[in-house]
Amino acid sequence: MWSGVGRGHSSTGLKQNVKRVRLMPTKRLVSSTPSIHRHQREERNRPRSAAFYYNQKTIDDAAAKPSVRLTPATILYAGKNSDGAHLLRSSQYLQRELPVRIAHRIAGFRTLPFVIGCNPTILSVHELYIQAFHILNEFPEIQSLEDSRKYNGILRELLDAHKDVVTHLASGFRECRRYDEDLIGQFLDRTLTSRLGIRMLAMHQLSLHDEQPNHVGIINISMKVKDVLTKWCDFVSHLSQYKYGRSATFKLSGHINAAFPYIQLPLDYILPELLKNAARATIEYHGDVLPEDMPPITITIANNDVDFIIRISDRGGGIPHGNVNTVMHYNFSTATDEENMDDHHGGFSGMVEAANSAQTAGPMYGFGFGLPTSRAYAEYLGGGLHLQSMQGIGTDVYLRLRHVDGKFDSFRI
């Protein structure tokens, strides 16, 4: 009966009918942080009509406003004031901007077909966004550094409350994968990249207050790509040892001494996924070979004035012909459902989640979200992610990202 409902929140038929429906999500995503947890506890058992999700004027008004996106160079060269005025400006910008961006995402949830939007897990994520909107929108006007510090506390709690949203979306959309694949892909691309931008802005605000050495907020003013890669190569080696009892070796080449301003956070989403895929393919393809005889995974760094490129080359047999055009689709996975559950509850994903709990949105493993999410992030960052597979040999993955120093056009956060 809902086949004509859910394509857009402006539908007259939807607004007339939603008030008659009562929705009670069976899965509530609850944070461990005090005030957010308290807010969720108060709301948890309150029955929801569909109007709660689709008809809220405050959200409608915010969603009608454009977002104001900044280039990394803008925040890199914004300057620092001894009296903390830069901290106040940053807080005031976020107070205006975050409710608008969150309202845009809520509007995105409203465009989903009704049968997908009512999936309990997806509906609970939708509700998390609504709660976050009201918490931020109702925060008193920031007029002092003390107000800014209080606002930072709210940001920290919301970041924690939303850290597993990617996992929950992956789970919910896996249950809905028989529906419109193109529509779901477009929704997830917009939602996940918008979420990355929101998290980067929030973490930049927190980092400005923390004053990390060699950083301007979240921008490392002299990031060494080799150091970031080495960190994640070591981590994936430990994961491989844990899961397979053996690990692949990694060799770095190219411009290994390259250093430049960049935001490491997106790399901490993307690199573990790419390296994990290469290690898994190599180990499984060479299962009958002694660990010391396995071919290494070769990583090449190339740096120039406009962008930098990371190529990851493995000898893991390549991507089968039948999978080449689907590996970048959400919910595509070469693992079985049983392996997916193992990866989600332990092994790779559990350990990645533990390692990244302070930085990322949780694991991207076990549901076929890793590659499409990494591709969406790379494109959001003004670059791209491309695969070249030689069946019977291996796969080359090219991650290309634009510099943020302002010398050439860059992405906007």
pLDDT in tens, 325-382: 888 888 776 554 444 444 444 444 444 444 444 343 333 345 678 899 999 999 999 9
- The per-residue pLDDT for 39 is 56
Q: Quick one: average pLDDT of 214-225?
A: 92
Specify burial of residue 30 (Cβ count, 10 A radius: 0-12, 13-18, 19+).
Answer: middle
The helix/strand count (H/E) of the chain reads as 16, 10
Q: Do domains 12-216 and 220-402 have the same CATH topology?
A: no
Domain limits of the chain? 12-216, 220-402
Residues 171-178 have a mean pLDDT of: 85
Question: 12-216: which CATH architecture?
Answer: Up-down Bundle (1.20)
Percent of the chain at pLDDT exceeding 90: 58
Pick the CATH number of 220-402 from 3.30.565.10, 3.30.110.30, 3.40.50.850, 3.40.50.720: 3.30.565.10
What are the start-end ranges of the H helices in 245-363?
264-285, 337-345, 347-356
Return the DSSP state at 125.
H
Residue 408 has pLDDT above 90, yes or no: no
pLDDT over 60 (residue 37): no
DSSP SS3 for 299: strand
Predicted TM-score (pTM) above 0.85: no
